[in-house]
Structure 1
Amino acid sequence: MKIIALIIFFVTSVFAQNQLAYIAGEYHSDFGIRIIQTFDGGYAIIGQTISFGAGTWDIFLLKFSPHHSLEWAKTYGGDSVDVAFDIIQTPDSGYAFTGLTRSFGVGLSDAYIAKVDSKGSLQSFITFGGVEREESWDIETTTDNGFIISGCTESYGAGLLDILFAKFDSSLSVEWIKTVGSDSSEYSVACVQANDTGFAIVASSKSAPAFPGKHCMLVVKLDKFLAIEWAKGISGDDHDHNYGNGIIQTTDGGYSATGKAGTPGVSGGGSAFLVKLDSTGMLQWSKTIGTIDFDKTDYIIKTYDNGYVLSGYTGQWGAPGSDEDLYDFFITKLDSSGSLEWARKVGDEYIKDWGYSVIQTSDSGYAMVGKTMTYRFSILDTVYWNLLYVKFDSNGDNCIASDITSDVTVDYVLSTVDDITSIIEISDISPDVMDVTAEIIEMDVSPLNLVICETSTDTPEPHREIKSFTLNVFPNPFNSAAAIQFSLPHSGPVNLKIFDVYGIERKTLANGIYPAGNHYFMLNGNNLSSGIYFCKLTVGNVFSQTKKILFLK
């Protein structure tokens, strides 16, 4: 197996509420698209690389410990373009990710779903598509431990471009693949399974009669039988185009979706766009968020206090056809009604820094990933993209971030909602499905480490010998994810399970032999209903403890 040097500029820290930042990559373009917090309290970042791997672009996966030290990094791909757009952790502590491939499959590009184990070793790589272009942008777990993905297809469907929506079981066998769309053009980059076990998809569409020739945000709700309940085209009155990029379900059973409002290439011609719908698709409110320049949000999360955090980039567009677009990381916190709490940017106003996804971490801070030229240029005097990871504290502060709250406005915008349920179709398709696991080239990457910045408000604790068993859950109550920590004074067989109030097992988080020490797992609430649950830790026949957990979705 080929070993490749990876340059990582990062900070190592063992404190709560850290502010930190690092870049990862080498002398070509490398960047991160999605970040997740893993069951052990660490982080996994997936993205794309030219510096390493077998082809033009390869999939880039990095795993970090809870203390932010790199544990391993791998690339996956063939001799052409292979990229990843989203990742989740699986119940066996492995990972599933999705994107597009031009190295494998039958078309110009095929969508794929891949599975690796907890150490990044490839287990399966499944492509699906036709003779034209297929892409997959989002992957989510389902209540039956399967997977759903959403993206776009040119090979199938009613229009020039349709939403690609697929379901796989836990072993990556296809259950169904469908298109959703009209005779115009639709594509999706995000979906969510609803509390009623149906699905909601956010997309961009040109099919709404109220917005002829223009893109609008499209939100489609499917029931559990995959029948369309409603489909809404949404656009602000003052903008030519609106694009949907992210969606979550809210505690009242409705949905919040984000994207971009405005026209690229026009000075001041773009703002982040946030809409709130009720459970029937009726608009409750809509807001634009941004500076005097161009702003775009790629990701939305629900925070522990039922507010929102949006991530993306802010900056200005260059002249048409030029390479002078200048962006910074953009992260903003809103309360549950869409009012601004704070906004930050990371980067240099004269160089490019592009933010993608964000998560809320178990210490109530935030972690964001994207790509940078600023810090690469200042350290190595090169102009290639590198992966940039930034950890903010719970107030949104970071050692390389700037406060731009006073420069950001949040305005109510009178949006138009076009009910287009009657013109959106859903169809079964049977694309070519190929298992190309044997052809994937997997590479280990060996790192070198240097510091950018670190700040901590806490002091390190001295090492203490663990003398007793403990079980802790935080935060509790929680509304998105909870960190479960247990301590073992000696190694032993561990069983960690989640039960509902009826005593029915809902999740198994740990089942095996664990060494002495502290261990961390993340309980994701995506597929749980609001209510009381119980976390039970059993260590052989020597220890058992149960903690009550309150989940407020």
Structure 2
Amino acid sequence: MNLSKISFQITAFFIAALIHTALVPVFAQPPDTLWTYEYRGPQDDNVVDIAPTSDGGFVCAIKSEAETVDSGRAVLVKLNTMGQEAWSWSYRDWDLWTVTTVTGTQDGGFILAGSGNTWWQEQAVLRTDSAGNPLWYRYYRVPYTDWAVDIVTTHDGGYALITAQLALLRLNAAGDSLWSRDYGDYHFGYGGELIETDDRGFILCGTRGYIRPDSMWDVQPWICKTDSLGGIEWERRINVTGDVWCMTIASAGDGDYVVAGSSFATDTSRSRPFVARISGSGDVLWTRIWNDVEANLRRCRALPDGGFILGGLYASDTPYFERYYLMKIDGNGNRLWDGIYGNSQLVSGSALAVLNDGSLGIGNGQLRSNTIGWDAWAARTGVVTSAVSPPSIIPANPILLSIYPNPFNSTTQIEFTLPTTRRVSLRLYDVLGREVAVLLDEMKTVGEHSVRFDGGSLSSGVYFCRMEAGTEARIQKIVLMR
């Protein structure tokens, strides 16, 4: 036996293994759980939504059952980066009976939405400051027995919410209702999530029932694009076999959107993960259903690397009990990894947020040990993507504006680059702030664009070109010399 040859082969094997390990992508496998947190109220509790905070932690919106029947309360808990409770608030006295969603506000506070404590289950909204102190509370009855399922902060500091029965409600910063629209005129409808678009309209997702030729009906994903007043610009049904529920939507950053939910196509008693990518004009680019996994997707969040993280419920061997399920996909819908978290837990919400450092905040309802009921459960995972908020004043996808030649004596070229499809306006102002020309005011797609400006009708001097693209703006000085 040649021992030197064997030694060489073993050494080569370990070197190859090290090289292979070095080449494996950093985020190519499910992350570990860094810590967990539990909240126990008098009855049943579960985390229904999570919102990141600027300090790297997050807040948990908790649906908490009170001691008596038909009584509940909303709870908001702030956790730091180590999972320690910084503060908590119970809003039972504010008549926010059931909370379903929470998001951050422009000043660092929070807005919670759900339903109030009445038989009509009106939509209820509670605004807090950054420490959870209540600032104001409003409730609405649009259009009928209904409750809020998702709320977003809009460009002007106001809010928009979608209800369980597919209504859209627009609020100003003080919570006053500006307008509402009802899209639930089909045989069946259930609201998912919404996104404000760069043209200040909205993209809504949800589920609707459609009558088939045989008089039976299918449950299918529904996507709707509205203008800034809620008027429908287009709506789409995603045609897939069997009943498919759409629960969540995320912006891809390039004008596309990704929606997710669950499919019951192969077995009406078992759910399979469903994901689809939609263009900004409503075209279905691809759909994915994974029949090897029994899971119900409830949350989809975009990642800086172009992929998406999906959260939901994974069915266990015990009927009616699930565990938390995570899946990461790339921009083409290819599954990169999936993982299961927590112990057996009762069916409830599946909260998910991408945190500042690229880790995840997840939450649900954790089955109590040695007693009846379940506790609110939250966890922080390891990093799954690059940092969400890089330490730079330059955005990851900047809007670029350049003007050449400058100074100019007759004509000049204004060029700009867009990271996503947006409504763009180009306006020219003199040194007194008076508008002297409108060069552009229309929707533009992602990529590079150019506008030729002829200053023949203007006198020599200094002017300012202001570009607005969605919610962002750029200003550049130009000089006209004769």
Q: Same fold (TM over 0.5)?
A: yes
Distance 2:143 2:333 in 1: 44
Distance 1:98 1:14 in 2: 40
Q: CA deviation at 1:248?
A: 0.7
Aligned to 1:49: none
SS of the residue 1:329 aligns to: strand
Task: Select the residue among 308, 320, 325 that pairs with 1:388.
Answer: 325
Aligned to 1:360: 302
C-alpha distance 474-267 of structure 1, shift in aligned 2 (>3 A): farther
Q: CA deviation at 1:310?
A: 0.7
Aligned to 2:272: 328
Query: 1:205-247, CA deviations, whole angstroms, 9 ceiling, x for partnerless residues?
Result: xxxxxxxxxxx411011223433221111136xx302222211
Task: Select the residue among 211, 222, 227 that pairs with 1:273.
Answer: 222
Q: CA deviation at 1:129?
A: 2.9
- The question of whether the paired residues in 2 share the 8 Å contact of 1:110 and 1:133 is answered with yes
Distance 1:77 1:245 in 2: 28
Aligned to 1:231: 180
**What one-letter code is carried by the residue in structure 2 that aligns with 1:222?**
L
TM-score (norm 2): 0.63
SS of the residue 2:147 aligns to: strand
Q: CA deviation at 1:316?
A: 4.7
Runs of 4+ in 1 over 4 A off after TM superposition: 12-21, 103-107, 130-133, 381-384, 440-447, 470-474, 478-481
- The question of whether the paired residues in 1 share the 8 Å contact of 2:94 and 2:137 is answered with no
Aligned to 1:508: none
What RMSD in Å do the two structures reach over aligned CA positions? 3.9
Task: Select the residue among 303, 306, 309 that pairs with 2:255.
Answer: 306
Aligned to 1:411: none
Query: 1:49-98, CA deviations, whole angstroms, 9 ceiling, x for partnerless residues?
Result: xxxxxxxxxxxxxxxxxxx2322122222352110111011122221111
C-alpha distance 291-20 of structure 1, shift in aligned 2 (>3 A): farther
Query: 1:406-438, CA deviations, whole angstroms, 9 ceiling, x for partnerless residues?
Result: xxxxxxxxxxxxxxxxxxxxxxxxxxxxxxxxx
Task: Select the residue among 520, 524, 529 that pairs with 2:471.
Answer: 529
- The question of whether the paired residues in 2 share the 8 Å contact of 1:135 and 1:153 is answered with yes
Task: Select the residue among 19, 41, 45 that pairs with 1:78.
Answer: 41
Distance 1:444 1:166 in 2: 22
Matched, 1:283 2:243: no
Aligned to 1:410: none
Q: CA deviation at 1:529?
A: 3.4
Aligned to 1:221: 170
- The question of whether the paired residues in 2 share the 8 Å contact of 1:295 and 1:312 is answered with yes
Matched, 1:253 2:200: yes
Q: CA deviation at 1:179?
A: 0.6
**What one-letter code is carried by the residue in structure 1 that aligns with 2:175?**
L
Distance 1:471 1:263 in 2: 48
Map 1:335-350 → 2, pairs under 5 A: 335-348=279-292
Matched, 1:262 2:209: yes
- Which has the greater radius of gyration? 2
Task: Select the residue among 110, 123, 127 that pairs with 2:73.
Answer: 110
**What one-letter code is carried by the residue in structure 2 that aligns with 1:217?**
L
- The question of whether the paired residues in 2 share the 8 Å contact of 1:261 and 1:271 is answered with yes
**What one-letter code is carried by the residue in structure 1 that aligns with 2:397?**
N
Distance 1:111 1:276 in 2: 31
Q: CA deviation at 1:473?
A: 6.5
Q: CA deviation at 1:130?
A: 6.1
Matched, 1:164 2:124: yes
User: Unpaired runs of 5+ in structure 2?
Assistant: 1-20, 339-373, 385-390, 400-417, 421-469, 476-482
- The question of whether the paired residues in 1 share the 8 Å contact of 2:143 and 2:182 is answered with no
- The question of whether the paired residues in 2 share the 8 Å contact of 1:107 and 1:132 is answered with no
Distance 1:169 1:474 in 2: 27
- The question of whether the paired residues in 2 share the 8 Å contact of 1:220 and 1:232 is answered with yes
SS of the residue 2:87 aligns to: strand
Task: Select the residue among 34, 43, 55 that pairs with 1:92.
Answer: 55
TM-score (norm 1): 0.55
Aligned to 2:402: none
Q: CA deviation at 1:194?
A: 1.3
Matched, 1:193 2:153: yes
Aligned to 1:295: 244
- The question of whether the paired residues in 1 share the 8 Å contact of 2:102 and 2:110 is answered with yes
Higher RCO (C-alpha 8 Å, min separation 6): 1
SS of the residue 1:364 aligns to: coil
SS of the residue 1:226 aligns to: coil
User: Unpaired runs of 5+ in structure 1?
Assistant: 1-11, 22-67, 205-215, 319-323, 402-439, 450-455, 457-469, 482-527, 534-553
**What one-letter code is carried by the residue in structure 1 that aligns with 2:138?**
K
